[in-house]
Amino acid sequence: MSILLMGGIVGFIVAVSIGANDVANSMATAVGARAINIRQAVVIAAILEFTGAAIFGSQVTETIRKGIVDPAKINDPNAFMLGAFSALIATATWILIATYFGLPVSTTHSIVGAMAGFGIAAAGWSVVNWIKIVIITLSWILSPIAGLFVSFLMFKSISAFILHSDRPFKSAKRYGPWFIGGAFMIIAFSFVIKVLKSSATVGLIVATVVFVVSGFFIYIKLKRRRVLSNEYDEVEKIFKKMQVITSCYVALAHGANDVANAIGPVAAIYAVYKGLELGGKVTVPRSILMIGGLGIAVGVALWGSKVMKTVGEGITALTNTRGFSIDFSTATIVLTASILGLPVSTTHTVVGAVVGVGLARGVEAVNLKILKNILISWFLTVPAAAVLSMLIFKILIFLGG
């Protein structure tokens, strides 16, 4: 069996582990807020994750070009190929271990740690771009704090303008369309920038039009609604459908963006196998992207519910307005970071946003025990993946490749 075929198989397993763990980014809040059930979340996420990876997944792998490991400092291309293979195995192992315990860890940080680990084992500490590692480490702190801050403000705003007003349902009909229109604006801007690859100016124009049109359309639709039960229940129903839409968008975008975590090292193996230049751009065949997308979908279907329960139910109790605040905040932070070129983790951001909504209701609303376990798993991710990758690489070299 060729190393390329084995790399493809392990890359598929990594994609499965990504689907099993990162599905919490997109669907956990919708499940926790009872907008959809776990079975519906699994089906929706599987379809959209595959679609995002297969259709919108980048044709050029980012892992090689990001420079975690400098290929020029590893003289033997075969060693680099074995290293990428080791990184895949280490990443899959660590993510599946975390998933088994229901812990949401960053797949991006896992593959970064694994790539750095084999680099150190192959050519020493100098082969790793430590500035990049420091920036990624800072994102552990900045992204959840940003998610916490924005979701806290968003939920406080919804509470002030709607939930705590004298007429919550009437206020929801007046202000709700513009909160929801803001979410559509973020989705549109992100789609234009990240998927269609257009300029920020074009994205801003499209997003503004979407904000005005969607806000006005929803305002007209809601104007005709009447209170059928409890006012607060009716307010939650308004945000319920919107939360499903934002969750679907996050799933589509996640499949498009994070498939590179599984396919990036496969591209390194592919480059060496085909005799291509490692330091340059490596075009990944769409068939390989589809394998990654299929793996993500399978992971969602098999084990996605575990992490979904941790994020959607374990940290704090969620309603549709709270879930909407979390999805809106996560999309905003990740989009802004992408435009600025900052390597943030969607997993870390969404967990921070969940905590922010919990804190908006008081510290007692947050399950600190669950949060402590999540934080420990975050700080273990890069070193654990790195050590696993080093060990696997050394074993492969010992066995003669």
DSSP structure string for 300-366: HHHHHHHHHHIIIIISS---HHHHHHHHHHHHHHHHHHHHHT----HHHHHHHHHHHHHHHT-GGGS
Q: Which position has the higher pLDDT, 28 or 111?
A: 111
Nearest-10 crossing angle of helices 231-273, 286-309: 140
Report whether pLDDT(212) > 50: yes
3-class state of residue 283 by DSSP: strand
Query: What pLDDT, on the 0 to 100 scale, is given for residue 1?
Result: 57
> Is residue 20 within 8 Å of 308, Cβ to Cβ?
no
Instruction: Give counts: helices (H), strands (E), the chain.
Output: 13, 0
Rounded-to-integer distance, Cα 183 and Cα 179, Å: 7
Cross-strand bridge partners of residue 69: 128
Q: How far apart are the first and last CA of the chain?
A: 12
Which residues are CB-neighbours of 333 under 8 A, at least 6 positions away? 143, 146, 147, 150, 344, 349, 353
Using pLDDT thresholds of 50, 70 and 90, give the confidence band for residue 230.
Answer: confident
> Is residue 297 within 8 Å of 254, Cβ to Cβ?
no
Q: Output the CA–CA distances (angstroms, integers) from residue 333 to 101, 109, 142, 144, 394, in the order listed.
A: 27, 18, 10, 9, 39
> Is residue 32 within 8 Å of 315, Cβ to Cβ?
no
Query: What pLDDT, on the 0 to 100 scale, is given for residue 213?
Result: 96
Report whether pLDDT(388) > 90: yes
The CA-based angle 57-350-233, given to 5 degrees, is 115
Query: What pLDDT, on the 0 to 100 scale, is given for residue 385?
Result: 92
Report the percentage of the chain scoring pLDDT > 70: 85
Lowest-pLDDT range of 144-158, 190-204, 233-247, 275-289: 275-289
Query: What pLDDT, on the 0 to 100 scale, is given for residue 90?
Result: 92
pLDDT digits (tens, 9 = 90+) for 262-301: 777 777 777 777 766 655 566 667 777 778 778 877 887 7
Rounded-to-integer distance, Cα 375 and Cα 228, Å: 43
If you average pLDDT over residues 222-233, what whole number do you get? Answer: 79
Query: What pLDDT, on the 0 to 100 scale, is given for residue 59?
Result: 46
**Of residues 394, 389, 401, 292, the one with CA closest to residue 87:** 389
Query: What pLDDT, on the 0 to 100 scale, is given for residue 8?
Result: 82
Report the percentage of the chain scoring pLDDT > 90: 11
pTM of the entire structure? 0.75
Query: What pLDDT, on the 0 to 100 scale, is given for residue 232?
Result: 84
Which residues are CB-neighbours of 103 under 8 A, at least 6 positions away? 307, 310, 373, 374, 377
Query: What pLDDT, on the 0 to 100 scale, is given for residue 247?
Result: 80
Using pLDDT thresholds of 50, 70 and 90, give the confidence band for residue 187.
Answer: confident
Lowest-pLDDT range of 102-116, 308-322, 369-383: 308-322
Using pLDDT thresholds of 50, 70 and 90, give the confidence band for residue 79.
Answer: confident
Quickly list DSSP for 155-208.
HHHHIIIIITSSSHHHHHHHHHHHHHHHHHHHHHHHIIIIIS---HHHHHHHHH
Query: What pLDDT, on the 0 to 100 scale, is given for residue 387?
Result: 94
Report whether pLDDT(369) > 70: yes
Q: Which position has the higher pLDDT, 40 or 249?
A: 40
Parse the chain into domains and list their residue ranges.
3-398
> Is residue 325 within 8 Å of 316, Cβ to Cβ?
no
Dihedral (C-alpha) 162, 173, 26, 381: value to the nearest 10 degrees? -20
> Is residue 90 within 8 Å of 274, Cβ to Cβ?
no
Report whether pLDDT(179) > 80: yes
The tokens for 82 are: 């074995």
3-class state of residue 60 by DSSP: strand
Rounded-to-integer distance, Cα 318 and Cα 356, Å: 12
- Average pLDDT of the residues of the chain: 79
| Chain centroid offset of residue 272 CA | 29
Rounded-to-integer distance, Cα 377 and Cα 347, Å: 12
Lowest-pLDDT range of 52-66, 101-115, 124-138, 220-234: 52-66
Using pLDDT thresholds of 50, 70 and 90, give the confidence band for residue 208.
Answer: very high
pLDDT digits (tens, 9 = 90+) for 88-126: 899 889 888 888 887 777 777 888 889 899 899 988 888
Query: What pLDDT, on the 0 to 100 scale, is given for residue 25?
Result: 66
If you average pLDDT over residues 238-247, what whole number do you get? Answer: 81
The tokens for 343 are: 């390597």
Query: What pLDDT, on the 0 to 100 scale, is given for residue 12?
Result: 87
Rounded-to-integer distance, Cα 73 and Cα 95, Å: 28
Lowest-pLDDT range of 65-79, 158-172, 205-219: 65-79
Query: What pLDDT, on the 0 to 100 scale, is given for residue 339?
Result: 64
Rounded-to-integer distance, Cα 86 and Cα 399, Å: 13
Q: Return the number of other C-beta atoms located less than 10 Å from residue 275's C-beta.
A: 7
Query: What pLDDT, on the 0 to 100 scale, is given for residue 55?
Result: 67
Query: What pLDDT, on the 0 to 100 scale, is given for residue 157?
Result: 92
If you average pLDDT over residues 328-343, what whole number do you get? Answer: 73
If you average pLDDT over residues 367-377, what whole number do you get? Answer: 77
Q: Output the CA–CA distances (angstroms, integers) from residue 25 to 104, 213, 329, 400, in the order listed.
A: 9, 28, 12, 40
8-state DSSP, 125:
G
| Chain centroid offset of residue 258 CA | 7
If you average pLDDT over residues 229-249, what whole number do you get? Answer: 81
Rounded-to-integer distance, Cα 91 and Cα 100, Å: 14
Query: What pLDDT, on the 0 to 100 scale, is given for residue 276?
Result: 64
